[in-house]
Amino acid sequence: MARAPGLSVRLKLTLSYAGFLMLAGALLLGAVWLFLLRYVPDRLMIVPGSTGGEITGPFPIRSNLLQVFAPRAAAVLGILLIVGLLGGWILAGRMLAPLTRITEATRLTESGSLSHRIELSGPSDEFRELADAFDAMLARLEAHDAEQQRFAANASHELRTPLAITKTLLDVARNNPDRDDGDLVERLRAVNARAIDLTEALLLLSRADQRSFPRERVDLSLLAEEAVETLLPLAEKRGVSIETAGDVSFTCGSQALLLQLTTNLVHNAIVHNLPANGTVWITTRADRDRTVLTVENTGERLGPRVVSTLTEPFQRGTERVHSDHGGVGLGLAIVKSITQAHDGILTLTPRLTETGGLRITVDLPAAH
């Protein structure tokens, strides 16, 4: 935005310093002058003592005094003006030096460099606080930027995979005159379904990230029941038993997104469970101001290091990237995004018992 040119802050500060110094000097000189007026008589008569002689005078003292005082006072004021302007210019320059560095850093950021830092040294003051806050903001932006780039690279890679598989299947089929078309169609259909799942997961993730959804009162225990009902056939197929417990627990948010969150958690708890005799526990709990959903399951034993990375997009624990579990690696990333969009806290804790597994809690604000 174009703005009319104005005085620089340095010049304004200099003028104020000099102005104040002049004002203080003038006041002091005025006080001295008043004092002189009060205690120095207007005229002076010289009366001879006992030795005799004539009375001389009157001598005009005040007007003489004024003649002597005025030019000196003017000289003092002149010196004060020079000292004020010079000192003010130097002092203001020193005080504003950090601002120049902050402005330079802002310009660099504007031109696209996020790796630059101000790193202002010295004791803590207002400028130091501003510079530190700016550095912290840059660090956050840089991390976010790197995360976005990683995400875009991973997403492109994941989206390319089904296309590449499709191409291979078609190439093989073209070069093989006695192919089984039924088998080919079946395999193409599976690959296509996976690509659709992945695209839908990506769309869902961006929808949750945008936070633009209508909010209503939602009962998490009902959502948990619904998710269990949908996934029960899968659990039976894998020999996993599901136990649900808990109170009616209301929170405020999007019914569809919270159902997706619950379904993702229960789905993970079933598919990343023990090969046989696995268990899933689902509980909902309502406090005065928090509503907590907990999904816990038996499974492989996980270290805390691995667990801390699982919510990143396309991170898949210890299993092979394309295992038969069929997830696209976005399940927990979506859970995290939906939780954050609802101002909640997602916690993953490895279960340290013999039967291993994971315990995930989603802590959301309660709605009354």
Ligand X SMILES: Nc1ncnc2c1ncn2[C@@H]1O[C@H](COP(=O)(O)OP(=O)(O)O)[C@@H](O)[C@H]1O
CB closer to Mg ion, 105 vs 235: 235
- Residue 337 site contact among ligand X, Mg ion, none (CB < 5 to 8 Å, cut-off depends on kind): none
> Interface with ligand X includes 329 (CB under 6 A)?
yes
Judged by CB under 6 A, which of 19, 87, 246, 317 binds ligand X? 317
Judged by CB under 6 A, which of 92, 204, 242, 332 binds ligand X? 332
Phi, psi torsion values for 273, nearest 5 degrees: -105, -175
> Interface with ligand X includes 327 (CB under 6 A)?
yes
Stretch that binds ligand X, among 138-146, 217-225, 246-254, 321-329 (CB under 6 A): 321-329
What residue type is assigned to position 225 of the chain? Answer: E
Stretch that binds ligand X, among 9-17, 166-174, 283-291, 311-319 (CB under 6 A): 311-319
CB closer to ligand X, 218 vs 328: 328
| Cβ 96 to Mg ion shortest distance, Å | 55
CB 317 within 8 A of CB 308: no
Spell 86-117 as b/e; 16+ CB within 10 A means b: eebbeebeeeeebeeebeebeebbeeeebebb
> Interface with Mg ion includes 331 (CB under 5 A)?
yes
What residues have CB less than 8 Å from 317, skipping those under 6 apart?
272, 300, 302, 306, 310
Rounded to the nearest 10°, the torsion over CA 328, 330, 334, 337 is -160
Residue with tokens 């994971």: 358
| Cβ 211 to Mg ion shortest distance, Å | 23
CA distance 333 to 312: 6
x/- binding map, residues 257-296, to ligand X, per CB under 6 A? -----------xx--x------------------------
Enumerate the β-bridge partners of residue 103.
Answer: none
Coil vs helix vs strand at 205: helix
> Interface with ligand X includes 208 (CB under 6 A)?
no
Stretch that binds ligand X, among 77-85, 185-193, 250-258, 313-321 (CB under 6 A): 313-321
- Residue 329 site contact among ligand X, Mg ion, none (CB < 5 to 8 Å, cut-off depends on kind): ligand X
> Interface with Mg ion includes 344 (CB under 5 A)?
no
- Residue 336 site contact among Mg ion, ligand X, none (CB < 5 to 8 Å, cut-off depends on kind): none
CA distance 103 to 134: 11
Query: How many residues touch Mg ion (CB under 5 A)?
Result: 3
CA distance 33 to 70: 9
- Residue 316 site contact among Mg ion, ligand X, none (CB < 5 to 8 Å, cut-off depends on kind): ligand X
Q: Reduced to 3 DSSP states, what percent helix, strand and coil does the chain have, rounded to the nearest 5?
A: 60, 15, 25
> Interface with Mg ion includes 327 (CB under 5 A)?
yes
Residue with tokens 């579990």: 325
| Cβ 317 to Mg ion shortest distance, Å | 10
Stretch that binds ligand X, among 79-87, 94-102, 222-230, 328-336 (CB under 6 A): 328-336
| Cβ 267 to ligand X shortest distance, Å | 7
Cα 254 from chain centre: 24
CB closer to ligand X, 181 vs 324: 324
Judged by CB under 5 A, which of 254, 260, 262, 268 binds Mg ion? 268
Enumerate the β-bridge partners of residue 278.
Answer: 240
Give the tokens for residue 314.
């396309």
Rounded to the nearest 10°, the torsion over CA 246, 237, 200, 363 is 20
CB 29 within 8 A of CB 76: yes
| Cβ 329 to ligand X shortest distance, Å | 4
> Interface with ligand X includes 319 (CB under 6 A)?
yes
Number of Cβ atoms within 10 Å of the Cβ of 50? 4
**What is the contact surface with Mg ion in residues (CB under 5 A)?**
268, 327, 331
